[in-house]
Structure 1
Amino acid sequence: MTPQASRPLRTADVARKSGWSVQQVRDLERLGVIPPATRGANGYRSYGPAHVRALRAYRGLASAAGPVVARSLLAQALTGSLADAAAAIGAVHVRLAADRDEALRAHAALAAIEGEEREPDAGYDDAGYVDAGYVDSDVLTITQLAVALGVRTSTLRFWEQEGLLVPERVTSLRARQYGPGAVREARIVAALRSSGYGIPAVRDVVVSLRRLPGAGGGTAEVRRILDRRLDQIATRTVALLRAGADLADVLDPPTP
């Protein structure tokens, strides 16, 4: 794709119009994010409006999907078909929608946990986790907790190795037992993991929660974390919408 025939833009002009530095414009051209500049007889680069639009599209895509994905998508858009570019943008929208759904499911899990804290004698919810049939006392075995959370027992052992979960007691036969506090912590870990948080981030949250006085404050802190995640997803979605408009102009330049 070539820039429109109009008054040539210098590298500094493109940088000013797109919000990037002069060096970043050159680097992004080298990476294939924008079409190659033409060279004058004096060797200077010459750009056009298409370069500015591509750089604006890259900024939005990098905010929405990260710089690596954005570079790949822009390079594909400049060399591939319109259908391929549209499909790539659609895939980013789908990923953001999935991230939002995961965060909302984590919110629902926290609401169930908080409801049980207000009604300590109530059984665990259908969608959520521990069914009353598994609860004969205040203590669960590792198998019962795994079934309650919908994960494998090996997952619980892995969480334990990573410091995300601590059994209340390990018997002489190495059978793990989980009291109400450990079960609640496991449910928060499951909620965060299902929302896309990695092990280091979940560990930081769990360590912070263990320092907080009272159970209610813990779930409130996780709720704030998930609210921030939803805000970030919303910001990324808006950035993607803006990038889509700029990318459409790159692929199908407006008539001057």
Structure 2
Amino acid sequence: MDEPAAPGMTVAAVASATGYSAQQIRDLERLGVLGRAVRAANGYRQFAEEHVRDLHAYRDLSYAVGPVAARDTMTTIRRLALAEAAALVCDLPAQLNQERAQALAARAALQAIQTEASIEDGPRETDAMTITELSGALGLRPSTLRFWEDAGLLRPERIATRAGTARRYHLDDIRAARIAVALRAAGYRIPDVRNALAAISELGAVDEPLVVLNRRLAAIGKRAVALIRATATLADIIDDAAP
């Protein structure tokens, strides 16, 4: 265990103050996430309050943008010129803003579909669409609808034509396709979309995906607050590193 021979914080004290293990602290120092600890004459590390501050910032930043991006950011800003480091930090909210915009768009789409579902009497033949009509209405390629059919998201009717068969999408599939568009825009993977559509089919409502999206928006809000906290420390690091 590292014990200082002069006044300063031991690695154990920093671990106690931050919740990181002693080995994690040594690793983060080695990677450049933390500034170098002072070494006493006997070689033991002596940490300062700035290291505790930076570890708290790293935890918030990891929660906000992920550990890899957090590590890269805190390592890089120590090496960049002030203007470049500041620009890097200013770009950090972009990912969260994009995730929030996508989730809001998905929620709005699902709420619209929920409203439609509450006033519909049921599928009507006049609501049926061809693959060309549906793909055009949704802004998708027809090949995307075919892929979603292969993945089990859609089950259009097949009708005989002189050229062979053609797909005909009734109200249930039209609604499923719209939900799939909304969920895919919010970052859902195909298996997640399939599960959500199955739940909607069983429950006859879109409440479950809306609950998930509301939880995601709340989580994004918490990550944004963590990023705000971390940014203040990142500004201090940039100032300290500036010549």
TM norm structure 1: 0.81
Letter in 1 for 2:169: Y
Letter in 2 for 1:191: A
Greater Cα shift, 22-31 or 112-121? 112-121
- Going from structure 1 to structure 2, the CA distance change for 1:204 and 1:26 (only over 3 Å counts) comes to farther
Superposition map of 1:1-256 within 5 A: 7-120=7-120, 137-163=126-152, 165-172=153-160, 173-210=164-201, 212-214=202-204, 217=205, 219-252=206-239
Deviation at 1:83, TM superposition (A): 2.3
Deviation by residue 1:186-233 (Cα, 9 ceiling, x = unmatched): 1111111112223333233223333x232xx2x111111110110011
Question: For 1:170, what is the secondary structure of its paired residue?
Answer: strand
- Matched with 1:131 is none
Letter in 1 for 2:157: R
Moved over 6 A (4+): none
Distance 1:35 1:181 in 2: 58
Deviation at 1:102, TM superposition (A): 1.4
8 Å contact from structure 1 (residues 53, 250) kept in 2: no
Question: For 1:252, what is the secondary structure of its paired residue?
Answer: helix
Distance 2:194 2:35 in 1: 44
Distance 2:50 2:132 in 1: 59
Show structure 2 runs of 5+ residues with no match: 1-5
8 Å contact from structure 2 (residues 89, 234) kept in 1: no
Give the number of aligned pairs: 230
- Going from structure 1 to structure 2, the CA distance change for 1:213 and 1:203 (only over 3 Å counts) comes to closer
Show structure 1 runs of 5+ residues with no match: 1-5, 122-134
Distance 2:178 2:108 in 1: 12
Distance 1:82 1:19 in 2: 31
- Going from structure 1 to structure 2, the CA distance change for 1:117 and 1:203 (only over 3 Å counts) comes to closer
Deviation at 1:20, TM superposition (A): 1.4
Greater Cα shift, 55-64 or 30-39? 30-39
Distance 2:235 2:30 in 1: 22
Deviation at 1:7, TM superposition (A): 4.2
- Going from structure 1 to structure 2, the CA distance change for 1:115 and 1:221 (only over 3 Å counts) comes to same
Deviation by residue 1:82-101 (Cα, 9 ceiling, x = unmatched): 32232222222122122111
